[in-house]
Amino acid sequence: MRIKNIELAHAEAFGQLQKEIYQENKFMLIEPDEQKTKRHELANQIASTDFLIGADNDQGVLVAYLAAFRQAYRRARHRASIVVAVRADYRRQGIASRLFTELEDWAQNTGVSRLELTVAVNNAAAISCYKTNGFIIEGVRSQSLKINDALVDEFYMAKILG
């Protein structure tokens, strides 16, 4: 497994990974038919992300990514919202933990002291992964997602870096 920065040259591979993840994971915010697929859309997505890394498998295929978005205003610039996704057949292999380690190194070097995310309350595997990596539940966002016509709550989770 190799961790790498996702750059413009990886736009097609990144788009393919997102497509696969959105099709196999019902908990992602974006549904498969909402995905950006045009090269310029993917390029804009990559360029507008403050921190974006991925993990390649042994064949060099992108199988996971982690994106972080910093706040624009000075009073909130110390925090970053994150999205992490790992292909189903690569979960529970420590990939997310390796991505979180890289994220924390970046955060320490850029003045980010708070990492935050939301997760569907019924996504037990993701919640376990986040807790393992030091995130705590701070609250609930009631009926914030609509998955298969059912309203689903989300946990707010955060990690304060030392």
Superfamily (CATH) of domain 2-160: Gcn5-related N-acetyltransferase (GNAT) (3.40.630.30)
Dmax of the chain from CA atoms? 43
pLDDT at site 36:
65
pLDDT at site 45:
84
The domain segmentation of the chain, as residue ranges, is: 2-160
Mean pLDDT of all residues in 87-108: 94
Tokens of 105: 């190194």
pLDDT tens, position by position, 115-126:
999 999 999 999
Q: What is the DSSP letter of 32?
A: G
pLDDT at site 31:
75
Residue type, 121: V
What's the N-to-C CA distance of the chain in angstroms? 28
